[in-house]
Amino acid sequence: MSVNNIDLDNKQRKKSILAGVYILQGYIMATDLGAMLAIPKTLEQFGAQNYYGILITCYVLAMAIATPVGGKLGDLFGRKNAIVAGTAIFAFGTILCAVSPNFIGYFTGFMIFGIGMGLMLPLLIAMISDVTTQTEFPKFMGYYTSVNNVSMLIGPLLSGVITDLVGPGLVYVYLLPIGGIALWLINKNYKGKLVSDEKPLVDYLGILFLILSAGPILLLFNLGGTAFSWLSVPSLALIVLGVIFTLLFVKHESKCKEPIVSIELFKKPVVAMGFLRTLTFMAYSSIVSSYLLLFAQQGIGISATVSGTLTLPKTIATILLPAAIGTWVAKKSIKGLKTALITAGAAVICGCMILGIGAGTSIAVIMIYISMVLLGVGESFYFVSNLPHIKSLLPAEKVGTGISINTFLSTFAIALYGAIFGGVLNGFNNDIMGAFPTICYIGAFCAFLYILLSVLGVKIPKKQENGGKSVGA
């Protein structure tokens, strides 16, 4: 097996690797969100507007299922090799989207693009972990988060202009040279070495069981209540299939020598509680991404233009704050990490409560802006503390696997809460004015559970593994 093991002989090489990671992440996120913006016009060219929902659902499935696989492949074959392969898959998918003459080719390209996206998400974070010490990791995760959010802001803006002026095809490929530069930086400077001569064992059966277990559950969360009723034969069939294959997946992974998802990690209470924190924290994200704009436009009747500015305070906060907070956490070590975890939950509780309380008032828009600032603060503290804590508890050979599990759970949680909040909306007869406060209070309650898990489950090792030295491949 290839444990990621690297000797960083000078600071310049480390800086070059981190620069490559940040640039590559920017390329991926800007391309991804730009592609989402270009979908309607692309489908219009093919006369396939009715397939929008199917395309997005399948893309989410492909990305989510590929995420655990990406982390494990990085642990087995080395992070650099896995990143090169993941970037190649991602780029091939975008090129296919750009040149396909029909919907079938475009759909195929979009699924390949989604697989590449899923493979890359945990790998880049794991590479940051490889080339930084445990103490440094929160600081560099802060930089990563800021870069990520800048890309999420700039990508759609550039893609919108390109789509209107040239057409949607160019949106998928115009950033390819940027990705190439990033990959060159990583490939040149990331000098890894194998620490074992054993041939890596890929858990192909585990991948199959992962698809068959996660697929039905994610389909249920994405299509339930829209394509079919929650109380229907398709819903029941997906639940049964999901449960059966999940049990088979867990049984297989428990006995597998190199499992895609290490069940052993869940047997460690502090690690399991870290993963539970991820599940509980992400409720607010589903509110912001799926229900805030619906409430703003249909509930209180504000224009689409104003609605587009509602999340801007959150975006600005998550661009400006993570690097500074991460640096502070790195200096404060254990105490700072735990404080950041609790602060993240407290900020989200306040943000969700303000959203819920202000929903029926005459100053609802002002309350939304205030809540977005608080949610941005909470998100900034979360991303520089939650994953660094989980990572500190993982053995070196399981870092990629652990990060990929956490990333998968984030995607899974957003889909789960989307389904729960959809059920709440249905319970209010699709009255968003009535349902929105309840949805926000559920988000606040989940953040409260997150704080409890942070207080009870955070136990940072006093002695860091490897003497605080950077390890990686």
pLDDT tens for 259-284 read 888 888 888 888 999 999 999 999 99
Model confidence pLDDT, tens digit, residues 211-237: 999 889 888 887 887 778 888 999 999
pLDDT above 90 coverage of the chain, percent: 50
Model confidence pLDDT, tens digit, residues 290-327: 888 888 888 888 876 777 788 899 999 999 999 999 99
Q: Which fold has domain 9-191?
A: Growth Hormone; Chain: A; (1.20.1250)
Pairwise pLDDT comparison (79 vs 397), residue with the higher score: 79
The pLDDT assigned to 8 comes to 54
To the nearest 10°, report the CA torsion of 189, 194, 199, 205. -60
Model confidence pLDDT, tens digit, residues 85-129: 999 999 999 999 999 999 999 999 999 999 999 999 999 999 998
The span from the CA of 136 to the CA of 143, in Å, is 11
Phi, psi torsion values for 58, nearest 5 degrees: -65, -35
* pLDDT reading at 3 higher than 90: no
Phi, psi torsion values for 78, nearest 5 degrees: 100, 140
Report the predicted TM-score, pTM, of the whole model to 2 decimal places.
Answer: 0.85
The span from the CA of 389 to the CA of 394, in Å, is 9
* pLDDT reading at 240 higher than 90: yes
Maximum mean pLDDT: which of 97-106, 291-300, 329-338, 455-464: 97-106
Confidence of residue 168 (pLDDT cuts 50, 70, 90): confident
* pLDDT reading at 470 higher than 50: no
> Which helix (DSSP H) or strand (DSSP E) does residue 327 occupy?
helix 312-358
The span from the CA of 403 to the CA of 396, in Å, is 12
CATH number of the structural domain 262-466 = 1.20.1250.20
C-alpha 339: how far from its chain's center? 23
Model confidence pLDDT, tens digit, residues 34-74: 888 888 888 888 998 888 878 888 888 899 899 999 988 88
9-191 shares its CATH topology with 262-466: yes
The pLDDT assigned to 460 comes to 52
Average pLDDT over residues 414-426: 86
The pLDDT assigned to 304 comes to 67
The pLDDT assigned to 98 comes to 93
Residue that is written with structure tokens 């926000």 in the block: 440
Q: Domain limits of the chain?
A: 9-191, 203-257, 262-466
Tokens of 473: 């491949």
The rounded mean pLDDT for the chain is 87
